[in-house]
Amino acid sequence: MRLLPKFARPNYAQKLSLLATLPLIVAGAAIAVLVSVQSRALAEGEIKALEKQLLQAKMAELRNYVTQARNGFSHIYGLAAPDDEVAKEKVTQILSAMIYDRDGFFFVYDYDGKNLVSPRQTEYINKDWTGLTDSRGTPIVDEFIRLARQGAGWHTFMWEKPSTGEEAQMVAYVLGLQDWRWAIGTGVFIDDVLASVAASRAEVESRIQRTFYYIGAITLFALGMVFATGMVLNIRERRLADAKLKELTQRVFDAQEEERRRVARELHDGISQLLVGVRYALDNARRRLSRGDFETAETPLNKGISNLGTAINEVRRISRDLRPGVLDDLGLGPALKALIEDFGARTGIDTHFSTVVFRNRLDEEAKIALYRIAQEALTNIERHADATEVTMDLRGHARGATMRITDNGRGLPPSQDRGGPGIGLRNIQERIEQLDGTLRILSSGGAQSGTVIEVLLPLSHLLPPGDRTTAQKPRAKQSA
């Protein structure tokens, strides 16, 4: 190592990066091999399925050929006696004329092995072919006779193609005429199917090899990038830390922009529509007044006034949801009191609020959290509790600060009791956990049993008596 230049000597972090790439190389190679094996197995299964499908199509075609041929001479065979030579001659003539494609034909053997019909290979006619086998030793005529005695069946063997004179694999369907002791059938050469399957298999194998090479190349490239990135990270650690800080700042800006978009949507979907309605009503009233129709002008005016009042309330609601002004001006106690009074006026539920003044000693984070928790709890009561009375109590003590919200509703379902999976309760739980506080939910789950939500913030969120620098700036008389 001493012979190497100083810049070429890796430091400890660079050695760790280099060592970390070794398992990645092994993992990349293993993944490439596994993908190759799995791809080959999947492709082989698909090729076999394709081959089976093609063969089944060929076999179905053969069966149709034999069925059609039998239908063609059934009027002769059905009326003929077992020794009716005239009928047999007519049937052989019919079958001899049934040739199709380049190599398709019908053949007939009697149960003694004698060939009766072979239109494309006439040298086989009137000869005994018992014991005939193909180049692989597969019995041919004997198997035809056995299948015919059973009624019908399939047989695969090698046979000379009439068009080329070369041996190829054939699939034949044989049907037995028991009264005449005949085995009739036809076959189709499947060398084209086998060639297509072989070509598909070769193509798949070629693609698998290419895929293997691609995966290897990509893995090596990725490993090189990982190693290079690790080296750059070690060299430019401070610069990247600054970049991450800028990125975090940009995320904050994006979150602010998203909140602006949300408010804009509420203004457009709510207030904008209401104001359009007000304008339409006023315009309607103006037209009626211009025509001198003073009596009917009152209706659109009243409607416009009503819509305007609704728009004002909607603006107040959006403003209050974003940031309640009373929380900044008077403190948490008056803000909660205004919240529960507005809740009672809106829902008709009897509400009570009590607090012990502790001179605005809660820090800003705790104030906002308690206010949002109270909003969430009242929303749940309005939607689900069916309550007629709600009580809220806020007080400070030696252990910190406690907010207690009680209702006389129907209680929580068993699945949501004591901080279960309800969305509102999860939101409350998350806010409390961020402040290192505790949450207690008491509910028996029966009809009109009521629910108690108790939030306890630790003493760390109460400012010392003489330190209020982080509390709200006094703009009016302040309390808790």
Residue 215 neighbours by CB under 8 Å, 6+ apart: 28, 31, 32, 35, 36
In this structure, the answer to whether residues 279 and 350 fall within a common structural domain is no
User: 0.75 cut: is pTM over it?
Assistant: no
Higher pLDDT, 307 or 451: 451
What beta strand segments (E) does 82-181 contain?
99-100, 104-110, 115-117, 152-160, 167-177
**Domain tally, the chain:** 3
Q: How far apart are CA 162 and CA 185, in angstroms?
A: 17
> What pLDDT is recorded for position 4?
47
In a domain, 457, yes or no: yes
Higher pLDDT, 35 or 150: 150
Q: How far apart are CA 89 and CA 222, in angstroms?
A: 78
In a domain, 473, yes or no: no
pLDDT digits (tens, 9 = 90+) for 375-419: 888 888 888 888 899 999 998 777 788 899 999 888 877 655 444
What does the H/E/C string look like for 190-254? CHHHHHHHHHHHHHHHHHHHHHHHHHHHHHHHHHHHHHHHHHHHHHCHHHHHHHHHHHHHHHHHH
In a domain, 439, yes or no: yes
Q: How far apart are CA 440 and CA 417, in angstroms?
A: 10
208, pLDDT greater than 80 = no
| Residue ending a domain, choose from 250, 284, 313 | 313
464, pLDDT greater than 70 = no
In a domain, 35, yes or no: yes
Residue 349's CB: how many other CB atoms inside 10 A?
21
In a domain, 23, yes or no: yes
Domain that holds residue 259: 238-313
Residue 90 neighbours by CB under 8 Å, 6+ apart: 73, 76
In a domain, 163, yes or no: yes
In a domain, 472, yes or no: no
pLDDT digits (tens, 9 = 90+) for 217-261: 777 777 777 767 766 666 666 676 667 667 766 755 665 676 677
CATH of the domain at 68: 3.30.450.20
In a domain, 324, yes or no: no
